[in-house]
Amino acid sequence: MRNRFTTRNQRFTETIEAIRTSGLSLIISTIQFFKTFTAEFRSINV
């Protein structure tokens, strides 16, 4: 039971690390997307 809990906790920590790294790249890609989106929107508007 205790051994099972430690492996589960380790998996949980690994998941958090993965989410953190993927979340960071997701934020960067979102910022780049919005930059290109606003630039295109301005050109269409003008």
The pLDDT tens digits for 1-46 are 566 667 888 889 999 899 898 889 999 999 999 999 888 888 876 6
Considering the entire predicted model, what is its pTM? 0.45
Please give the Cα distance from 28 to 19 (Å, whole number): 14
pLDDT for res 46: 64
pLDDT for res 44: 76
Q: Tell me, what amino acid is at 6?
A: T
What b/e string do you get for 1-11 counting C-beta neighbours within 10 Å, with b at 16 or more? eeeeeeeeeee
pLDDT for res 41: 82
pLDDT for res 33: 92
pLDDT for res 28: 93
Please give the Cα distance from 20 to 29 (Å, whole number): 14
